Amino acid sequence: MVYEIRMSNSKKMPYFFNTETQQSTWEPPAGMTREEVEQLQGAHFLKGGAQQFDKSGQVRASHLLVKHSGSRRPASWKDPQITRSKEEAIDILKGYQAEIGGSKEKFAELAQLHSDCSSHEKGGDLGFFGRGQMQKPFEDAAFGLEVGQMSDIISSDSGVHIVLRTA
């Protein structure tokens, strides 16, 4: 595998790009040491050095978001103008909760099909994040869960969510 580090124009964050497969990821390639990361072309984009990929103090979570008319941006990849009420959004999530029944695979499947977040493409996976990077209700829920545990319905400015802590 041939990787280089590039800078995202939209997020202003470095990412890892596989020049053979043309695939990109926010996370260092599996099995790559800090020293190997520091030797990659574009390593200068890592302001904090390779240690910025040390995940202590961070969690990894997936979510299933259902937006409503009161969401800060009531539109999504599947609906350009969301008009449902918050109560309707909660009812939809309750239905998904019943379908999920504790299954991580079912969670990812439903997130991919139904989440109003662009993370739907990755089964709702948001990757690793630390405190202060997400809206407070979402952050509190994610950090309050044990790995593998799923939240009850939480509300944020984005809409209503179910959160699954994955790491």
- From the list 69, 112, 135, 155, the catalytic residue is 135
- From the list 68, 115, 117, 120, the catalytic residue is 117
> Cα separation of 16 and 37, whole Å?
9
Active site residue 112: no
Residue 165 · residue 147 · CB < 8 Å: yes
Active site residue 44: no
**58-66/159-165 β-pairing:** antiparallel
Q: At 123, which amino acid appears?
A: G
Strands (E), the chain: 3-7, 14-18, 24-25, 58-66, 125-130, 154-156, 159-165
153: which residues sit within 8 A by CB, 6+ positions away? 90, 93, 94, 97, 160, 161, 162
β partners of residue 130: 58
Active site residue 161: yes
Active site residue 156: no
Nearest to 164 by CA among 66, 63, 95, 67: 63
- From the list 62, 63, 115, 120, the catalytic residue is 63
Active site residue 41: no
Q: Which residues does the annotation mark as catalytic? A: 63, 117, 135, 158, 161
